[in-house]
Structure formats: structure tokens, C-alpha cells
């Protein structure tokens, strides 16, 4: 069964609360780096909520733009990796083989969305935070790149469950942590290979666009343009 996982982000609904970021940190064993390192631009988070102002004056409205790995179909990060540590998997996702990465950081430079983060050091989880590390994925060592995987461990779980029951994955069965958490329901995840899935219907919305589409990276993350002003 072939899948084409995709995400839709409705900017009309996004409130910029940052729950997606917290959920992602909890799900994917993402370290917190502390104020000093964060100030240097070394946050490890796989999703960021970029805040822009719609006009340049006091009292302007904020525009929130959640940015995560776009899972590009023509991913610029993949071609430049000298060791195939980042590659395209059968579901069309950009996968990372942490053990193969040597840390040239070329992929991060070539990613126009700058969503790749680098392990500048070995991270520690103070007790008892280490107890909550997920066993479904590794804790990355210093010197390797990492990025959003669309919660590949959840996709695998769903595939296994579906295979055990000899049925295809149901629409809505898989949701990455950010999608599951988003309080206003701005994020939607699904399989665009299935024409009847919720995301396929959602993407017929004329508001849809993709980030930096002119670069030809063919992202798998679609945005739905904001129509209303904040608070309306």
C-alpha cells in the first residue's frame, strides 16, 4: 500500500499558542537547551511558530506561521549529503539515518526553510525527565543532524496495527504529536494518495499554498492562507 503523507496548516485557525512545539518536544525526545544556548540560535525544536507582523506599526496584527520539515518531494537536503544519511523513503518522506550522519551540516545549509537542527553537544535530561524519554526512537548523539519526521514512529505503529488486522490504514488513524495536540485544530495530517481522505478534501480549498513554492522543492506541507484578521 503506497502512501503520500501530507499536512495542511490552516493559518486562519492558528493562534500561535505553541502547543505543537511542546507536544513535539515530548514525543520526539527533543532536548531543551536552556536560555543561553537558545539565545545563540541553538534551539533543537523540530517545529517553530514564526511570528510576523502584518504591518510595521504599533498595534499591528501578528501572523503566526508554524514551520516544520516540509518533507519535500524534491528535497534539496538529500542531494548534498555525502553519505546518504538523509534519504527519501518509500512513503515519500525525508528520513534521517542518525547513525550514518557525519555532521557536515550541508543539508541544513541547503534547506530553504531552515528546519534542520544540529546536535551541538550531547544533551542530558535531568532526573526524573529522563524517565519520560520515548523508547520508540533514539536519543541523538552530538554531531548529528535531526529534523521533523512526521512522527515516523506513529506511522510505523499504525502500519503494524493495520497489517495485523489485514486492513488498510484508516483515515485519521495516524496523527503526529503536533496535529494531535493543536487546540484550535489548525493542523491536519493524512494521506493524499487517498482521494476521499479529509486532507484531500481540505486541500481543494483555493486558499492553499506552499512555502517558497517558487524554489521547486514540492513540499508536502500545505498552508491555507489567512483570510480574517486576528480577533475577528
Partner 1 sequence: MSGDHLSRVDPEELYRDLSRSNLPPTKRWYLVAGLLLLVVLWGTGCFVYMMKTGMWVTGLNRPVMWGVFIATFVFWIGLSHSGTLISAILRLTNATWRAPILRGAEAMTAFTLMVGGLFPLIHIGRNWRFYYMIPYPNSRELWPNLRSPLMWDAVAINTYLLGSLTFLYFGMIPDLAIARDRSTGWRKRFYSALALGFRGSHSEWRRYHIASTLFAILIIPVAVSVHSIVGWDFAMAKVPGWHSTIFAPYFVTGAIFSGIAGVVLVMAALRKAYRLERVLTTVQFENLGKLLCVMSLLWGYFYFAEFLTVWYNRNPEEWEVFRSYGGHYLPLWLSMVVCNFVIPFPMLCMRRVRRSVPALCFVSFLVVIGMYAERILIVVPSLARRNDPFIWNNYFPSWVELSILAAALAMFLLLYIVFAKLFPIVAVSDVQERLFQATDRAVGRTTVETIARPEGHGEGGHG
Contact residues: partner 1, CB under 8 A: 37, 40-43, 48, 50-52, 65, 67, 76, 79-84, 100-106, 108-110, 112-114, 116-122, 141-145, 212, 215, 217
Contact 24, 178 (CB under 8 A): yes
Q: Which residue do the cell numbers 496535529 mark?
A: 179
Distance in Å, CB of 72 to partner 1, minimum: 11
Cβ proximity to partner 1: between 197 and 217 the closer is 217
Distance in Å, CB of 15 to partner 1, minimum: 17
Cβ proximity to partner 1: between 41 and 135 the closer is 41
Alpha carbons 230 and 221: distance in angstroms, whole number: 23
Give the Cα-Cα-Cα angle 70, 72, 77 (nearest 5 degrees).
100
Cβ proximity to partner 1: between 41 and 206 the closer is 41
Distance in Å, CB of 192 to partner 1, minimum: 24
Question: How far is CA 63 from each of CA 12, 98, 223, 231, rounded to the nearest angstrom?
Answer: 10, 34, 13, 12
Contact 63, 211 (CB under 8 A): no
Cβ proximity to partner 1: between 116 and 202 the closer is 116
Which of the 8 DSSP states describes residue 96? E
Distance in Å, CB of 223 to partner 1, minimum: 14
Distance in Å, CB of 229 to partner 1, minimum: 20
Cβ proximity to partner 1: between 61 and 79 the closer is 79
Which residues, 6+ apart, have CB-to-CB distance to 140 below 8 Å? 29, 98, 119, 146
**73, exposed or middle or buried, with CB in 10 Å at 0-12, 13-18, 19+?**
middle
Amino acid at each position: 500500500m503506497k502512501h503520500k503523507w501530507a499536512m495542511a496548516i490552516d493559518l486562519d485557525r492558528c493562534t500561535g499558542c505553541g502547543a505543537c512545539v511542546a507536544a513535539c518536544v515530548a514525543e520526539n525526545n527533543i532536548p531543551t537547551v536552556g536560555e543561553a544556548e537558545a539565545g545563540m540560535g541553538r534551539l533543537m525544536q523540530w517545529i517553530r511558530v514564526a511570528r510576523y507582523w502584518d504591518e510595521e506599526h504599533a498595534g499591528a496584527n501578528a501572523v503566526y506561521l508554524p514551520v516544520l520539515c516540509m518533507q519535500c518531494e524534491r528535497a534539496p537536503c538529500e542531494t548534498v549529503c555525502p553519505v546518504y544519511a538523509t534519504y527519501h523513503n518509500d512513503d515519500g518522506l525525508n528520513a534521517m539515518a542518525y547513525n550514518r550522519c557525519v555532521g557536515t551540516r550541508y543539508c541544513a545549509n541547503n534547506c530553504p526553510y531552515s528546519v534542520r537542527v544540529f546536535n551541538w553537544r550531547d544533551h542530558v535530561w535531568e532526573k526524573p525527565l529522563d524517565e519520560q524519554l520515548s523508547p520508540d526512537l533514539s536519543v541523538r548523539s552530538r554531531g548529528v543532524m535531526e529534523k521533523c519526521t512526521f512522527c515516523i514512529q506513529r506511522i510505523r505503529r499504525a502500519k503494524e496495527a493495520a497489517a495485523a488486522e489485514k486492513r488498510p490504514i484508516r483515515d485519521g488513524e495516524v496523527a503526529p504529536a503536533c496535529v494531535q495536540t493543536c487546540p484550535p485544530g489548525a493542523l491536519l495530517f493524512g494521506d493524499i494518495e487517498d482521494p476521499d481522505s479529509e486532507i484531500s478534501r481540505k486541500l481543494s480549498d483555493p486558499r492553499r499554498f506552499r512555502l517558497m513554492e517558487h524554489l521547486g522543492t514540492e513540499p508536502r506541507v500545505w498552508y491555507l492562507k489567512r483570510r480574517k484578521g486576528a480577533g475577528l
